[in-house]
Amino acid sequence: MRKIIYIRVPNRERHDIFIMTTKESLFAGIRTPFIHDTAYSIILPGMIRGILISLDETKDEITLGIRVPDDPAWREKLLPACPDYNIHFPWPPLDDQGNEAICPESFWNQMADTPEKLDRQEAHFRLHTLKLLQDIAFPRCRVFDPACSTGAFLASLKQQLPRLNYFAADRAEKMVVKARQQLPHVVHSDFMQTSARTRFDIIFCRFANHEVIRHDQTAPVIDKLITLLNRKGYVIIFGHTPVNIDIADYVRGKNIALKMTSGYSERFAGFFQYYLLQAT
C-alpha cells in the first residue's frame, strides 16, 4: 500500500526545502542541521522525504504532498549520486522584514579573519574539483576564480596541478590580502567590470548562492562569466549555501551545455550541488 504524507513548512523555514530530480523521479526533501559545519552543503539521504506529488503555497506555509516508496531501501539505492541528479532549493532565506537575506560586508571581513572555517566547508568541493580538472584541464590553461575569498580553494588546486595558469579576484580587500599570500595573480576588483577581451578556459563560480547575492542577480552573473570563456571553456558552479537558481532551467535555450549537476561525498555519503557548464 502506498504511503502518502503531507509536510507543512512555515515560510520562515521554506529555504530548507529542496527538490531533487533524477531520471526516474522527482523527490522532495528538507535540509536539516548537520552536527558538522564541514558538511553544511551536503544533502544526506535521510533528508529526502519521498516522491513529490503536490506542492501548495500560501502566505504562511508550504505544503508538500509526498509519496514514500514501498521499498524500505529506496534512499540507499540513490547512492552514490549520479552526475545528472539535479538538486534545487526554490526559496531563498528571508530576513526579519520578509526580504531576501544577504550577508553584510562585515560578514565577509569576519570570514577573512577565520579562513579555516570556510576551508573546512569546501573540503569536499576541492576533492571533487581536483578529480574533475584532471579530466578537463590541459597544460597552461587559464583558470579564474572571480570571488576567490582567501585564495585557499585555488591555491589547493595549484599545489596539485601546478602546470595550469591561475588568476583570481575579489571585491573584499581583506580577502585579496589573504589570497596574495598564496597566489601570484590576484586583483582587487568586481569581475562584472572585467573586459570580455579577457578570456579563460575554466571559471569557478562559488558565490551564486543564497545569502551571498540576490536571486535576481544570479542569471546576469552567470551570463557575464560565460562571456569570459574561451571556446569550449567551462563554468563550474557550487557553494557552501544553495545555488540561487535552477541551473538546469537557466541553460535551456542558451548556447551552453550542462554536463554535470551534482557531486557525491564518500566521507559523508551524501550529495551536493555541483554544476559543470560548457560553452558550445
CATH number of domain containing 255: 3.40.50.150
Between residues 175 and 126, the one the model is more confident about: 126
pLDDT at 54 (0 to 100): 97
Domain assignment present for 238: yes
Instruction: Tell me which amino acid residue 189 is.
Output: S
Confidence of residue 178 (pLDDT cuts 50, 70, 90): confident
**Residue 65 pairs with which residues in a beta bridge?**
6, 54
Q: Given a cut of 60, is residue 1 above it in pLDDT? A: no
pLDDT at 40 over 90: no
Q: Give residue 197's pLDDT band: very low, low, confident or very high (50, 70, 90).
A: confident
Average pLDDT, the chain: 90
Q: Specify if 58 maps to a domain.
A: yes
Each residue's pLDDT tens digit, 114-135 = 666 667 778 899 999 999 999 9
* Model confidence band, residue 274 (pLDDT cutoffs 50, 70, 90): very high
Res 38: pLDDT:
60
The reply to whether 97 falls in a domain is no
Inside any domain, residue 146: yes
- Residues 65 and 42 sit within 8 Å (Cβ to Cβ): no
Burial, 225: exposed, middle or buried (Cβ in 10 Å; 0-12, 13-18, 19+)? buried
Domain that holds residue 42: 3-88
Do 245 and 130 belong together in one domain? yes
pLDDT of 35 over the 70 cut: no
Same domain, 237 and 111: yes
Residues 160 and 217 in one domain: yes
Q: Which of 53, 88, 123 is the last residue of a domain?
A: 88
Residue 55 pLDDT > 80: yes
Of 29, 62, 88, the domain-final residue: 88
Could you tell me if 59 and 187 lie in one domain?
no
The answer to whether the beta carbons of residues 101 and 93 sit under 8 Å apart is yes
Amino acid 113: pLDDT: 63
Q: Of how many residues is the chain composed?
A: 280
Average pLDDT of the segment spanning 221-244? 94
The confidence score (pLDDT) of residue 115 equals: 61
| Residue 227 φ/ψ, nearest 5 degrees | -65, -20
Count CB neighbours of 146 within 10 A: 25
Going by their DSSP bridges, the two strands 186-188 and 165-170 should be labelled as parallel
Q: What is residue 108's predicted lDDT score, i.e. its pLDDT?
A: 65
Q: Are 221 and 213 in contact (CB under 8 A)?
A: yes
Residues 153, 247 within the same domain: yes
pLDDT of residue 199: 93
Specify whether 149 is located in the same domain as 188.
yes
In a domain, 191, yes or no: yes
Cell of 270: 551524501
| CA-atom Rg of the chain in angstroms | 19
pLDDT given for residue 118 in this prediction: 67
Task: Identify whether 98 is part of a domain.
Answer: no
- Shared domain for 126 and 59, answered yes or no, is no
DSSP one-letter string for the chain: --EEEEEEEEGGGGGGEEEEE-SS-EEEEE----S-GGGTT-B-GGGEEEEEEEEEE-SSEEEEEEEEPSSTTTTGGGPSPPTT-EEE--S--B-TTSSBPB--HHHHHHHHH-HHHHHHHTHHHHHHHHHHHHHH--TT-EEEETT-TTSHHHHHHHHH-TTSEEEEEES-HHHHHHHTTT-S-EEES-GGGS-TTS-EEEEEE--SBTBTS-HHHHHHHHHHHHHTEEEEEEEEE--SS-BSS-HHHHTTTSSEEEEEEEEEETTTTEEEEEEEEEE-
Q: Residues 78, 151: one domain?
A: no
C-alpha 220/C-alpha 206 separation (Å) is 15
Does 242 lie in the same domain as 130? yes
- Tell me which of 88, 118, 144 is where a domain ends: 88
pLDDT in tens, 63-86: 999 999 999 999 999 988 787 899
pTM confidence score = 0.93
Contact in structure between 49 and 30 (CB atoms under 8 Å) = yes
- pLDDT for 175 equals 85
Does residue 244 lie within any of the structural domains? Answer: yes
Question: Exposed e or buried b for every residue in 19-37, given b needs 16+ CB within 10 A?
Answer: bbbeeeeebbbebeebeee
Q: What is the pLDDT of residue 80?
A: 85
Mean pLDDT lowest among 5-14, 22-31, 126-135, 190-199:
190-199
Q: What percent of the chain has pLDDT over 70?
A: 91
How many separate domains does the chain show?
Answer: 2
Task: Report whether 280 contacts 233 (CB < 8 A).
Answer: no
Asked whether the predicted pLDDT for residue 237 surpasses 90, the reply is yes
What's the mean pLDDT in 52-67? 96
Does one domain contain both 14 and 122? no
Give the pLDDT of residue 109: 64
In a domain, 93, yes or no: no
| 111 shares its domain with 215 | yes
Residues 266 and 143 in one domain: yes
